[in-house]
């Protein structure tokens, strides 16, 4: 007789804990639910049942890869963000809870009924732009990325969320695909990790696309493009909302001030109190 689901969870939890992962039981449950094609509540209601061979063939290799540091979200192919489910693959950055601060800042400043025109640069999985489209049901969203593979994941997420009719996907670097538009808001989570720090990141972060992480020598390369360039595509009074690194608030404020095109500049903290979101409005003419 094979292992029960309960016994499989116990063994997987042991292996994940031995690897130093902080939530071994939770991750074991997520992986076993994925492997068995259950919801987690369904899994927890069936713990005395035997682990089926097909589920075992998916589960134990996934546990082995997770022990080696491969991201949980790439194994299961999904990540929750803003209470929405997003497909993720190794072609895109895994959405983080701290990035929700950027989305919430925009939602707080916009009328939910408004016909807003919004662009999301470096869209990746589409997490920011699609969340804004979902919670602002009259908004038109443009989502850009330099990576065709990332844009395909974002398109799939748009279809799954029923948003494909209100989101336009454009391939290109930063603001280039947005030339000629006039936006109510521009949002972005650009690469912002200094290049010299990339090789020292945890293995699961190093598994994410380098293109989405590498912010150049000082981590500020993207902001040197976005801050001077955003006024060309923002309406007067338009909102700029950028995710930034935990220690980049002052540097980004300085770059924005040097651009001379913004008012009401601010840095908002994430849930841990660290720099996370730069906000500003384009000055009226």
Radius of gyration of the chain (CA): 21
- Residue 169 annotated as binding site: no
pLDDT tens digits, one per residue of 100-151: 999 999 999 999 999 999 999 999 999 999 999 999 999 999 999 999 999 9
pLDDT at position 1 = 62
201-209 own/partner pairs: CB under 8 Å, 24+ apart: 202/69, 203/68, 203/69, 203/70, 204/69, 204/70, 204/71, 204/72, 207/69, 207/70, 207/71, 207/74, 207/90, 208/71, 208/90, 208/93, 208/94, 209/90, 209/91, 209/92, 209/93, 209/147, 209/150
pTM over 0.75: yes
- Residue 254 annotated as binding site: no
pLDDT at position 62 = 98
- Residue 278 annotated as binding site: no
> Which CATH superfamily includes the segment(s) 79-282?
Vaccinia Virus protein VP39 (3.40.50.150)
DSSP state of 4: B
- Residue 174 annotated as binding site: yes
- Residue 111 annotated as binding site: no
Counting as low any pLDDT under 70, the low residues of the chain are: 1
pLDDT tens digits, one per residue of 225-241: 999 999 999 999 999 99
Backbone angles phi, psi at 185, to 5 degrees: -155, 145
């Amino acid at each position: 007789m094979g292992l029960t689901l309960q016994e499989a969870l116990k063994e997987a939890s042991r292996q994940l804990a031995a690897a130093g992962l902080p939530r071994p039981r939770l991750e074991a449950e997520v992986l076993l639910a994925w492997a068995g094609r259950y919801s987690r509540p369904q899994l927890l209601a069936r713990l005395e049942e035997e682990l089926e061979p097909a589920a075992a063939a998916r589960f134990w290799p996934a546990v082995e890869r997770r022990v080696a540091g491969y991201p949980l979200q790439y194994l299961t192919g999904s990540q929750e963000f803003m209470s929405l489910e997003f497909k993720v693959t190794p072609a895109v950055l895994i959405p983080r809870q701290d990035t929700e601060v950027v989305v919430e800042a925009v939602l707080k400043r916009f009328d939910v009924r408004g016909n807003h025109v919004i662009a999301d640069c470096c869209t990746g999985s589409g997490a920011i732009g699609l969340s804004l489209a979902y919670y602002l049901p009259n908004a038109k969203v443009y989502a850009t990325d330099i990576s065709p593979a990332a844009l395909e994941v974002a398109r799939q997420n748009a279809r799954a969320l029923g948003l494909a009719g209100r989101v336009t996907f454009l391939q290109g670097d930063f603001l280039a695909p947005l030339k000629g538009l006039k936006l109510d808001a521009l949002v972005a989570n650009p690469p912002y990790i200094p290049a010299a720090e990339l090789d020292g990141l945890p293995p699961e972060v190093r598994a994410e696309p380098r293109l989405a992480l590498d912010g150049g020598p000082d981590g500020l390369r993207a902001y040197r493009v976005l801050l001077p360039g955003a006024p060309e595509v923002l309406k007067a009074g338009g909102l700029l909302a950028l995710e930034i690194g935990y220690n980049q608030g002052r540097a980004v404020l300085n770059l924005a001030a040097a651009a001379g095109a913004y008012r009401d500049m601010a840095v908002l903290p994430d849930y841990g109190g660290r720099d996370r979101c730069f906000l500003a409005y384009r000055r009226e003419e």
